[in-house]
A = this chain, B = another copy of it.
Amino acid sequence: MSEAPPTAPKRSRIQQRNRKRILEAALDVFSQHGYRGSTLDQIAEAAGLSKPNILYYFSGKEEIHVTLLARLMEAWLDPLEQMNANGDPLTELLGYIRRKMEMSRLYPRESRLFANEIIQGAPRMGGNLETGLKPLFDEKCRLIQDWVDAGLLAPVDPAHLIISIWATTQHYADFEAQVRVLIPDNEAAWTAAQQHVETMFTKLLAP
A residues lining the B interface (CB < 8 Å): 32-37, 112, 115-116, 118-122, 129-130, 133-134, 137, 154, 156-157, 159-161, 163-164, 166-168, 170-172, 174-175, 177-179, 181-183, 192-193, 195-197, 199-200, 203-204
Measured between beta carbons, the chain B residues less than 8 angstroms from A112 are 119
Cβ distance A60 to chain B, nearest Cβ, rounded Å: 17
Cβ distance A39 to chain B, nearest Cβ, rounded Å: 9
Measured between beta carbons, the chain B residues less than 8 angstroms from A197 are 160, 164
Given A156-B196, A164-B168, also A178-B37 (CB < 8 A)? no
- Cβ-defined contact, A122 with B178, below 8 A: yes
Given A119-B115, A175-B118, also A160-B193 (CB < 8 A)? yes
The 7 closest A-B pairs by CB, nearest first: A167-B171, A36-B37, A160-B196, A167-B167, A122-B177, A129-B181, A203-B203
- Cβ-defined contact, A166 with B177, below 8 A: no
Measured between beta carbons, the chain B residues less than 8 angstroms from A196 are 156-157, 160-161, 164
CA distance A193 to B193 in the complex (A): 22
10 A-B residue contacts at CB 8 Å? A37-B37, A37-B120, A119-B175, A122-B177, A122-B178, A129-B177, A164-B200, A167-B175, A200-B204, A203-B203
CA distance A66 to B134 in the complex (A): 37
Measured between beta carbons, the chain B residues less than 8 angstroms from A183 are 159
Residue of B nearest to A127 (CB): B181
Measured between beta carbons, the chain B residues less than 8 angstroms from A33 are 36, 120
Cβ distance A163 to chain B, nearest Cβ, rounded Å: 7
Give 19 A-B pairs besides A115-B175, A200-B204, A203-B204 with Cβ atoms closer than 8 angstroms.
Answer: A33-B120, A34-B36, A36-B36, A37-B120, A119-B119, A119-B174, A119-B177, A121-B177, A122-B177, A129-B181, A157-B196, A159-B182, A160-B193, A160-B197, A164-B200, A166-B171, A167-B171, A199-B204, A204-B204
